[in-house]
Amino acid sequence: MTHANLIAGEWVHGTDAVRNINPSDTNDVVGEYDRASAAQVDDAIEAARKASHAWARTTVQQRADLLEKVGLEIFARRAELADLLAREEGKTLADATGEVGRAGYIFKFFAQECLRIPSERLGSVRPGVDVEITREPVGVIGLITPWNFPIAIPAWKIAPALAYGNCIVMKPAELVPGCSWALADIIHRAGFPAGVFNLVVGRGSVVGEKLVNDPRIDAISFTGSVPTGRGILAKAAARGAKVQLEMGGKNPLVVLADADLDVAVRVALDGAFFQTGQRCTASSRLIVEDAIHDKFVDGLTAALKQQVIDDARKQGTTIGPVVDQSQLDQDMKYVDIAKSEGGKLMFGGERLNREKPGFYLSPALFTETTNSMRINREEVFGPVASVVRVKDYDEALSVANDTAFGLCAGVVTTSLKKAANFRRNAEAGMVMVNLPTAGVDYHVPFGGRKGSSYGSREQGRHAVEFYTQVKTAYVMQS
Ligand code: ADP
């Protein structure tokens, strides 16, 4: 039986379906998920529109209770959902368990945020007048999500959208519809009114495009690649829709000569290679001061040798497979590019065979690279990182900032002064000191600068910017 789409509170079957394949074992079909037809997407948008007036007028307590219920069910089913996540995406069970917990906490957090939607009341400059500034729902939001965080990214878009009184039509990535379907099922059974949340699975070029272009969708929140994000921005902005984009990264991790070597290796290993490097916050550029360069490279190479690359759900696996064949091809292409540019492959970059057929790749570490090489300018989105040797802190900072992206930047140092300077001068939306560039909290803003992001921040109470619109009311005192 295929998994249907959720449209106007009903499960509606399609005419063809996506096969959800386990990247750790390509013989394992996780499930089949119906693609929504153009007419069904149309129905979903119409249902959201119809539901939006009443939903916007629910009390904050009603919305808080429903969101809390979703959060509680996610926690109650944490192990089962983590298994599904690891099976469809290929991150380890430990990482998947963390991600499911994060999704649960996000719903619980926004259940509480409903109760403190900010407003202001100011005196007018005119006598006898008050000014009241309130936030209202935007209306119907189109959510387009990527494959690398199959439950956390849907959660961090859905929960604030609902908390602030919006209706949703969501299109998950075709590679990982399982977690989104499970989330839709939880939301549906929690008792949200029909049409408030709709799930439509399908191709980006069909279902995604329709959401972007349909005038009944007031806002689009997208996470994915740079070219897709730019295309969405052009189309959505042309029709005046509100847009929020989270796109790529080419995040630097600066390792200074005074760093604690163990910390540096641990932070680089996690940030660059865990979750198969498939995180937009992954540190793919390791910018290392000359004095510690050789020791750091030796330490990281030794740590890479100890990694267990295998089935994501197998006990002991530290790095799971790449998500699919096309991503694997892209990773291998960049390994070749780095070699041809003169990078020295210190470790990995090889296709691996395991007991089951899967997309296994050993994590690749390059040295002797310069920041102008393609390997350091373009996002690979896989377990591939390169070291750039620099002579001092000033050069490290300037190389770190010499990129079209600006999502996250990290530094490993024991110098308070340099850490403070880096925090101030790194051109990134997020800065990490002695911590991996990847791995963020759920209750604080997430987002970047330059080519990485567009629009206001996601997560935490900053999410209110995107999911509400401001009204200024002038009232004559009676
Ligand atoms: P990735 O390379 O990681 O798959 P994409 O940017 O292609 O990144 O995909 C991210 C999300 O955007 C997915 O849900 C995908 O289906 C969707 N998508 C892809 N192309 C389009 C498009 N032209 N319009 C709207 N959504 C799209």
pLDDT of the residue at 478? 84
Task: Please give the sequence-ordered ranges of beta strands (E in DSSP) within 23-69, or none if there are none.
Answer: 25-34
Mutate to test the pocket of ligand 1, among 228, 232, 379 (most ligand atoms within 8 A of CB): 228
**Rounded Cα–Cα distance for residues 411 and 259 (Å):** 9
CA distances from 361 to 99, 109, 462 (A): 23, 37, 38
Answer yes or no: 246 catalytic: yes
Give tens-digit pLDDT for 457-466.
Answer: 999 999 999 9
Does 212 sit in the ligand 1 pocket, CB within 6 Å?
yes
Q: Is 328 in the pocket of ligand 1 (CB under 6 A)?
A: no
pLDDT digits (tens, 9 = 90+) for 391-439: 999 999 999 999 999 999 999 999 999 999 999 999 999 999 999 999 9
Greatest alpha-carbon pair distance for the chain in Å reads 79
Has 280 been annotated as catalytic? yes
Query: Which of 174, 280, 379, 408 is labelled catalytic?
Result: 280
Contact criterion met (CB below 8 Å) for 262 and 295 = no
Ligand 1 and 232: CB distance under 6 A? yes
Q: Is 248 in the pocket of ligand 1 (CB under 6 A)?
A: no
Query: What is the residue-level pLDDT of the chain in tens, covering all 478 positions?
Result: 899 999 999 999 998 999 999 999 999 999 999 999 999 999 999 999 999 999 999 999 999 999 999 999 999 999 999 999 999 999 999 999 999 999 999 999 999 999 999 999 999 999 999 999 999 999 999 999 999 999 999 999 999 999 999 999 999 999 999 999 999 999 999 999 999 999 999 999 999 999 999 999 999 999 999 999 999 999 999 999 999 999 999 999 999 999 999 999 999 999 999 999 999 999 999 999 999 999 999 999 999 999 999 999 999 999 999 999 999 999 999 999 999 999 999 999 999 999 999 999 999 999 999 999 999 999 999 999 999 999 999 999 999 999 999 999 999 999 999 999 999 999 999 999 999 999 999 999 999 999 999 999 999 999 999 999 999 999 999 8
CA of 228 to the centre of ligand 1 (A): 6
- For residue 202, give the ligand 1 atom closest to its CA: 16
Distance 467 CA to ligand 1 centre (A): 21
Distances (CA, A) of 341 to 75, 230, 292, 364: 47, 28, 24, 15
Q: Which of 144, 213, 246, 329 to mutate to test the pocket of ligand 1 (most atoms within 8 A of CB)?
A: 144
Question: What is the CA(226)–ligand 1 centre distance, in A?
Answer: 10
| DSSP assigned state of 216 | T
Nearest 5°: CA angle at 141, between 202 and 86?
A: 50
The whole-number pLDDT of residue 6 equals 98
Instruction: State how far the Cα of 461 lies from the Cα of 81, in Å rounded to an integer.
Output: 26
pTM of the model: 0.98
Q: What atom in ligand 1 is closest to the CA of residue 174?
A: 16
